[in-house]
Amino acid sequence: MKLNKLTGAIIATSALMLGAHTALAAEVEVLHWWTSGGEAKSVVELKKMMEAKGDSWKDFAVSGGGGENAMTVLKSRVVAGNPPTAAQIKGPSIQEWGAEGVLADLSSTAAAGKWDSLLPPVVSKVMKYKGNYVAVPVNVHRVNWMWVNPEVFKKAGAKVPTTWAEFPAAADKLQKAGFIAIAHGGQPWQDFTIFETVVLGTGGPEFFQKALVELDPGALNSATMEKSFNNFRMLRKYVDKDFSGRDWNLATQMVIQGKAGVQFMGDWAKGEFTAAGKKPGVDYLCVDAPGTKGDYTFNIDSFVMFKQSSPDAAKGQEDLANAIMSPQFQEVFNLNKGSIPARLDVSMAKFDDCAKKSNADFVASSKGGSLLPSIAHGMAVPAASAGAIQDVVTQFFNSEMTTKMAIEKLAAAAKMK
């Protein structure tokens, strides 16, 4: 990420595009990629809270569910010396930005708000750089869900699978009945969302930790990884021909509309069901992905604050951090988004059964050792390694590449820093 190595062309382009965006003193500019139905609704709530504090909200939304586009724009802004007030950044990327010396220190705000006592250690650790808070968590997402349209399964006479071995029988029945078995968007991060879930369901949490978090060569070259790739290849024939490039929320709509049986996606997908007026347990089911019962791959959305020269901007950052961490916002945001609050003291009374299950499994898995960071969603390994690994998985999914070759490429990609 070394910013001084970015090209002069990017700097020139950034200056040309962004020169007109000189921020007003009381303005809080927030970079994010929450542009779909449930996500956009959540952003509105945060904007309302900030405006109630007297701050001016400037929305800086960059579409693209995985955030890749947003990060490209953000780098350009920082290089141009014009960073936004806050930006949606998470996982190891927080450490990388911290090392650049461009992040604001939120320690005093965190101490006043007693964040250490309100956040689970696994969450607070991610929010700190060298022991100091530089980011504020918005939520906790569970990634290893399978979203099911029960009416589609009923019409097809299929049983919802609980293991990968059971999946082909169910998927074949769905296809025979005229349905798409798996709603999927062919983008690298979506491909890897399925892949890492397959790895967890095939090898279990200990194998997942070694292979996709520690990038252990022995695990990456193992028979279990071979079986994982074979299971992943099995799923390829159950997506429709038009899957390439499809956004994740459009794939969710296929399940909502009864065109497809399942989608493998994190619980931000639930925000789409909620926005469509669908009820869990009736119109859709939230089910542990095959083989992952009780295990939990997590994705934590968070915002970092960039250093600002204006005292008004710094005050706006403090207001934003406090607003994000408030029980009011943690509740309303996560009700809209489909996730669960990052704070431990927020009541789950208003949340649906899917969220309550997610919360219970989050607490249990954190105690039992099966709480795992998602590599697909930027929580596990540095961006360079994650990108190279995702490329291998996407190549495998879209070609006739052998499993043996995929394993070799995966192990080689894992060595990239």
Give pLDDT tens digits for 201-212: 999 999 999 999
Mode of pairing for the β-strands spanning 302-305 and 135-137: antiparallel
Quick one: which of 37, 66, 40 has its CA closest to 256?
Answer: 37
Q: Are residues 28 and 135 in the same domain?
A: yes
3-class state of residue 63 by DSSP = coil
On whether residue 366 sits in a domain, the answer given is no
Identify the DSSP state of 36.
S
Query: pLDDT category, 6, cuts 50, 70, 90?
Result: very low
Domain boundary among 341, 361, 381: 361
| Mean pLDDT, rounded, of the chain | 90
Neighbours of 76 (CB within 10 A): 18
pLDDT of residue 27: 87
Q: Are residues 243 and 385 in the same domain?
A: yes
CA-to-CA distance for 125 and 268, rounded, in angstroms? 23
Which are the contacts of 244, defined by CB distance < 8 A and separation ≥ 6? 186, 398
DSSP string covering 190-238 = HHHHHHHHHHHHHHHHHHHIIIIIS--HHHHTSHHHHHHHHHHHHHHTT
What CA dihedral angle connects 307, 309, 312 and 315, to 10 degrees? 30
Q: Are residues 114 and 74 in the same domain?
A: yes
The 10s digit of each residue's pLDDT in 72-114 is: 889 999 999 999 999 999 899 999 999 999 999 999 999 999 9
What tokens appear for 337 in the block? 């988004």
Q: Are residues 229 and 378 in the same domain?
A: yes
Residue 152 identity (one-letter amino acid): V
Q: Are residues 198 and 228 in the same domain?
A: yes
- pLDDT over 70 (residue 243): yes
On whether residue 277 sits in a domain, the answer given is yes
Q: Are residues 52 and 116 in the same domain?
A: yes
What residues does 302 pair with on adjacent strands?
A: 137
Which are the contacts of 43, defined by CB distance < 8 A and separation ≥ 6? 32, 34, 59, 61
- pLDDT over 80 (residue 12): no
Which are the contacts of 330, defined by CB distance < 8 A and separation ≥ 6? 138, 139, 324, 341, 342, 343, 346
Q: Are residues 148 and 280 in the same domain?
A: yes
What is the residue whose two structure tokens read 């082909």?
A: 168
Q: Are residues 115 and 259 in the same domain?
A: no
Q: Are residues 246 and 116 in the same domain?
A: no
- pLDDT over 60 (residue 22): no
* CATH number of 186's domain: 3.40.190.10
What residues does 68 pair with on adjacent strands?
A: none
Q: Are residues 148 and 211 in the same domain?
A: yes
What tokens appear for 364 in the block? 């249990």
The 10s digit of each residue's pLDDT in 263-319 is: 999 998 998 998 899 999 999 999 999 999 999 999 999 999 999 888 888 889 999
pLDDT of residue 112: 97
Number of domains observed in the structure of the chain: 2
Q: Are residues 313 and 220 in the same domain?
A: no
Query: Can you tell me the mean pLDDT for 159-173?
Result: 98
Q: Are residues 11 and 27 in the same domain?
A: yes
Residues in the chain: 417
Q: Are 286 and 145 in contact (CB under 8 A)?
A: yes
Residue 130 lies in domain: 3-141+300-361
The 10s digit of each residue's pLDDT in 393-409 is: 999 999 999 999 999 99
Query: Can you tell me the mean pLDDT for 137-149?
Result: 97
- Tell me the helix, strand and coil percentages in the chain, rounded to 5: 50, 15, 35
CA-to-CA distance for 323 and 306, rounded, in angstroms? 17
What residues does 129 pair with on adjacent strands?
A: 132
